[in-house]
């Protein structure tokens, strides 16, 4: 297990912040694409919706979620 302090240090690290910035850009790009092409290809719509949800899940990971019994 990691400590809450370690988690916060990781979240504030320059590399982590740069990685999260890229993820945020990809979310914005996917939202733009979806807003321009929704309904044309349902498979593409599902892909972009899933991508957005997955990236948001990564961005919103909390310390508590890192605590497992394993």
Each residue's pLDDT tens digit, 38-69: 999 999 999 999 999 999 999 999 999 888 76
State how far the Cα of 35 lies from the Cα of 59, in Å rounded to an integer: 21
Residues in CB range of 33: below 8 A, 6 or more apart: 48
Distance CA 32, CA 56 (A): 15
pLDDT at 68: 76
pLDDT digits 0-9 by tens, 4-27? 999 999 999 999 999 999 999 999
Q: How many Å apart are CA 28 and CA 8, to the nearest integer?
A: 25
Full-model pTM: 0.83
With a CB cutoff of 8 Å and minimum separation 6, the contacts of 49 are 34
């Amino acid at each position: 297990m990691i400590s809450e302090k370690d988690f916060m240090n990781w979240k504030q690290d320059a590399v982590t912040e740069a990685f999260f910035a890229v993820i945020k850009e990809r979310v914005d790009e996917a939202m733009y694409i979806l807003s321009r092409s929704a309904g044309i290809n349902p498979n593409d719509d599902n892909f972009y919706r899933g991508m957005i949800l997955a990236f948001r899940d990564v961005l919103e990971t909390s310390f508590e979620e890192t605590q497992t019994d394993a």
